[in-house]
Amino acid sequence: MPSVKITLLIVVSLGIFFVSLFLGPTLISPFSPDPIEKEILFSIRMPRVIIAFLIGIALGTSGAVLQGILRNPLADPYVLGISSGAAFTAALSLLSGFYILGKFTLPLSAFAGACTASIMVGIFGWKRGNLLPERLLLAGIGLGFLFYSAMMLLVSISTSEGMRRTVLWIFGDLSMADWSVIPYGLVFIASGLGISLLRAKALNALILGDEMAHSLGFSVQKERLLLFISVALMTGASVSLGGTIGFIGLIIPHMVRFFVGANSRYVIPVSALCGGGFLSISDLIGKTLLSPMEIPAGIITALIGSPYFLYLLRRRDVFQG
Amino acid sequence: MSSRADLPILELSEVGFGYDRNASFISSLSCSILNGQFIGLLGANGSGKSTILKLASGILKPSTGQVTLWGKSLHQYRQKDRAKLISYLPQFLDMHIPFTVRELVSMGLYPYDILPDMTAEEAMELVGLRRKADIPIAQLSGGERRRAFIAMTLLQGSGLVLLDEPLVNLDIKFQLEIYRLLKELQKQKNISILMALHDMNFAMQFEAVMLIKQGSILGAGTPEEVLTKDTIRDAFDVDVTVRKQDSGEMIISYTRNTGERLQD
Amino acid sequence: MISFLLFSVFLTTLSLCSPSPLLAAPPERIISLAPNVTEILFAIGLGDRLTGVTQFCDYPEEAKKKPKVGGMSNPSLEAVISLKPDIVILTTDGNPKEFEERLRSLKIRTSIFRARRLQELPAGIRELGAELRVQDKADALAKKIEDALTRVSFHQKRFPDRKKILFVIWPEPLIIAGRGTVIDDVIALFGQENVAAQAKTSYPKYSVEEVLRQSPDIIFIGKGHTEIREMSEGFLNKISLAPAVKKGKVFFLSDNLYRMGPRILMGIEEMAACLQ
């Protein structure tokens, strides 16, 4: 893949970033904003666009990595139960009214849940000194159901208004975007992305199979564990920033493979950029379409993404085999 | 033959291994691969060919005994250094991988930080896939896929190549082509090859073979020495006749199966 | 996906049809499937005959001691039946229509409290009183509410300038009271403007930047006695340029206005106090 394409993609992403800033329920002129518009720009729109990009990057990358390490084209960041773990602890904190950490309570409890779920999935997926793809996948599905039903139990026995809040949160929602949570989200997502980019060759080798990866000089256990940790970091951080947003993690990597091939060294960065750009466009549409009402971005991603994906599927053979 | 001809590259000494903690599958197996040797590994299904190749490549760790590569324990090598010295191509390859031929073959360079002598283009040329470089592996025929993997293994450029049944699913033409290719490379670059196969007539072309039964070696040497009526009956449970043709080639023909193994 | 279904059931508003009240004996065992109905029943002196309530029925204090039959969207049929009710009272807000049909098919008498808007409340109470044979007390309560509403409309001139009001149900994500809600009715009663009136649904998820742009003069936040007060900090920070925040016109109200019953009067007074 020529670097021209990558450059083009970076330019387009930057373009989307600025378009999302100035377009919206109402157009803000970048040249002469009045004080209210300035406030809207800097304390409402900018953190929101940044968070949309961060979440999109995290989900696009995690999807690309997971489909590789689990050797399964249907894997997505939520299949490992990480999001259910996060949703459970988030619901716990919302419904119990536990609020000692102020506005960090929700993101931190969600992140704690994501970490707990990841560690549990890791333990169940571990056998004979190795993380086994099938075990990981099944453990993730099992734990996902467990956490999900625990959360539904909480919601159904709860009498607090936190219930509706919980449900909205599970749908994924970017309207809570706030500068204060960005630095910590950035740290986790950037380190996850960094690990994935550095280990892209190892990911390619793992896609060939464990024995081939060994023959090519990779420590299969170490590489899969590292990549799994990077996915857990990114997914956990993204869920805690904006709830669960579907579609991106599953479909974006497939779409990207259409255009740049399967080499993870391109699939990872391109999935990251496309995921980020796509989520911010979706959010832009979601908040503009029925303004002043808002439609959660996660619904828009699936509504525009799925038909396009089905169209590509008819045109070409995605899974190549 | 070079002066290092009889240096052992890889040595398995008194290696024991079991997939189950209680039962050992291989107990005290010793053998060595000398520099520049091309050895055929023969044995019935389940006799331990794949296990021996996996022990030799370091995928499996022996429970007793030692595997040494150039005199140093295999498991003391850094992964990448090991990969520069040994490459291994498993019998069961995932053919639904999403890569193109070029992408796959290029992965043979992963152990290297600098570019080695051969390029991906040359490797594809060697196996006759250069024209299909940008076609996804999944769209190739079974034989072409196999050849693409072999090109990757060749590009890896290690001195010892372990191949588990690489000729399976190939037309006889490609079987011969790949065998000749490997043989040529072995001569040119003085690499050593250990290759599992199960066509005994094919094995007759090898300079050296090793016959395996239940994790131990029944015989090692030239095909004529090793593959006799008695050893074949012992290893495969079939009756054969071994005849020498006028041209000097050996032919093994199967007469009937003797045991009850196939009936239960 | 399951949560989505649950959510839609939770929000579904259904119009139910009730069988005509027959000349049966006054019901002795009553089950209420909505908190506001429970409050009305206590107010018209039927607290003793109330046999079962939902887990959301928390007012008055005695209501909490009544046997529970589950939530509003998912009451337990078995719990209802085992309490052997003479009548079950449902609302069009929050109780599933199917549940009412199920009860009727089991020959359990049902009654539906239909009032959803402020002006419909007195009539709703009277209808309920007729059904339960306590016309006099119901009529008295309805009259009290009618008088209060007239009084407030009459005193509208006490708040001459029309102010822009935002009523926050939940701060993050922002959910506000829109058109067609009791809260919208109360704001209109005071002659004020609800900034969310152009939103098309009752409780829309609303755009924060739109709030800032519409610059509300007064912000009410519902149920301020719980953790909502702390949760609102982030939201209020974001709209710190809005006149309401700058001038300190942000008020935390109790849940009085959330209950379409006698307490609505207290809610109206609460809001009136903030508007002065």
A149 at interface of C, judged by CB pairs closer than 8 A: no
Distances (CA, A) of A104 to A29, A47, A109, A180, A181: 33, 15, 8, 8, 7
The tens digit of pLDDT for each residue in C47-60 reads 999 999 998 898 89
- The answer to whether residue B233 is domain-embedded is no
Burial A173-206 (b: 16+ CB within 10 A, else e): bbbbbbeebbebbeebbbebbebbbebbbbbbbb
Chains that touch B (3 or more CB pairs under 8 A): A
- The answer to whether residue A227 is domain-embedded is yes
Beta-strand runs (E) in chain B: 8-17, 26-34, 38-43, 64-69, 72-73, 86-89, 160-164, 192-196, 208-213, 216-221, 238-244, 250-257
Of C4, C231, C241, the CB nearest to A39: C241
Of B88, B99, B103, the CB nearest to A215: B88
How close does chain B come to A103, measured CA to CA in Å? 44
What DSSP state is assigned to residue C120? G
- How is residue B239 written in tokens? 């009756």
What DSSP state is assigned to residue B6? T
Domains parsed from chain C with CATH numbers: 12-152 (3.40.50.1980), 159-275 (3.40.50.1980)
C198 at interface of A, judged by CB pairs closer than 8 A: yes
- The answer to whether residue B143 is domain-embedded is yes
Of A71, A209, A262, the CB nearest to B90: A209
Task: Please name the residue ranges forming H helices in chain A.
Answer: 3-22, 35-39, 46-69, 82-96, 105-124, 133-157, 162-171, 182-198, 200-208, 210-215, 220-242, 248-260, 264-288, 297-315
CA A140 from chain centre, in angstroms, equals 16
- Tell me if B92 sits within 8 A of B146, measured CB to CB: no
Q: How many CB atoms lie within 10 A of CB B229?
A: 13
- The answer to whether residue B59 is domain-embedded is yes
- The answer to whether residue B252 is domain-embedded is no
- The answer to whether residue A320 is domain-embedded is no
Distances (CA, A) of C79 to A286, C56, C67: 42, 15, 9
* Domain harbouring B199, CATH code: 3.40.50.300
Q: B26: domain range? A: 8-228
- The answer to whether residue A59 is domain-embedded is yes
DSSP A285-313: HHHHTTTTB---HHHHHHHHHHHHHHHHH
- The answer to whether residue A321 is domain-embedded is no
What DSSP element (H or E) covers A127? strand A126-127
What DSSP element (H or E) covers B145? helix B142-155
Chains C and A touch (3+ CB pairs under 8 A): yes
What pLDDT tens digit does each residue of chain A (321 aa) get?
567 888 888 899 999 999 998 888 888 887 777 888 888 888 889 999 999 999 999 999 999 999 999 988 888 888 888 888 988 988 888 777 666 676 677 788 888 999 999 999 999 988 877 888 889 999 999 999 999 899 888 877 776 656 666 777 777 778 878 888 899 899 999 999 999 999 999 999 999 999 999 999 999 999 999 999 999 999 989 988 888 888 899 889 988 988 888 999 999 999 999 999 999 999 999 888 887 788 888 888 888 888 888 887 787 654 443
Residue with tokens 């450029």: B157
- The answer to whether residue B68 is domain-embedded is yes
Q: Mean pLDDT across chain B, nearest whole number?
A: 86
Query: Taking 90 as the threshold, does the pLDDT of residue B152 lie above it?
Result: yes
- The answer to whether residue B209 is domain-embedded is yes
> What's the rounded Cα separation, in Å, for the pair C268 and C260?
12
Chains A and B touch (3+ CB pairs under 8 A): yes
- The answer to whether residue A138 is domain-embedded is yes
Q: Name the residue in chain A with its Cα closest to that of C233.
A: A103
- The answer to whether residue B243 is domain-embedded is no
- How is residue A100 written in tokens? 């000692």
* Domain harbouring A223, CATH code: 1.10.3470.10
Query: What is the domain count for chain B?
Result: 1
What pLDDT tens digit does each residue of chain C (276 aa) get?
344 444 443 333 333 334 444 555 789 999 999 999 999 999 999 999 999 999 889 889 999 999 999 888 888 898 999 999 999 999 988 888 889 998 999 899 999 999 989 999 999 999 999 999 999 999 999 999 999 998 887 776 666 678 999 999 888 788 899 988 999 999 998 889 999 887 778 888 888 888 988 899 999 998 765 677 877 888 898 898 899 999 999 999 988 998 999 999 999 999 988 887
The ipTM (two decimal places) reads: 0.86
